[in-house]
């Protein structure tokens, strides 16, 4: 998994924004969309420790998107909700 610093190179906020937009543009019914969102949220969470409030705000919205768009039978909903609550608590 990517981290805020990969192979000695810091991730750029533009790269994260592009990754986030690409993930959010997937249809809600895409089977991996929520997993991708949580992965991007995790990267943002690491990134926001070194950056701004905007990164934290983006993280909250990414986790919220995953939580709100999870189907009723998704067995990972509690993970999305926990990550959302944790990010919201950091605000």
pTM of the entire predicted model: 0.75
- Whose tokens are 């709100």? That residue is 68
Count of C-beta atoms within a 10 Å radius of residue 88: 13
What spatial distance separates the first Cα and last Cα of the chain, rounded to whole Å?
Answer: 24
Domain borders along the chain are 36-91
- Say how far apart CA 88 and CA 91 lie, in whole Å: 5
Torsion angle (degrees, nearest 10) of CA 38, 63, 13, 35: 20
pLDDT of residue 57: 86
Per-residue pLDDT of the chain (91 residues; tens, 9 = 90+): 444 455 556 667 788 888 889 998 999 889 899 999 999 999 888 876 656 777 788 889 999 999 999 999 999 999 999 999 988 887 5
pLDDT of residue 2: 45
What three-state secondary structure class fits 9?
Answer: strand
């Amino acid at each position: 998994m990517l981290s805020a610093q990969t192979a000695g190179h810091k991730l750029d906020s533009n790269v994260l924004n592009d990754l986030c937009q690409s993930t959010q543009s997937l249809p809600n019914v895409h089977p991996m969309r929520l997993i991708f969102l949580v992965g991007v949220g995790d990267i943002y969470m690491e990134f926001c420790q070194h950056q701004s409030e905007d990164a934290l705000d983006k993280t909250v919205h990414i986790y919220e998107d995953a939580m709100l768009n999870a189907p009723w039978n998704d067995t990972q909903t509690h993970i999305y909700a926990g990550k959302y609550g944790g990010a919201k608590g950091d605000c």
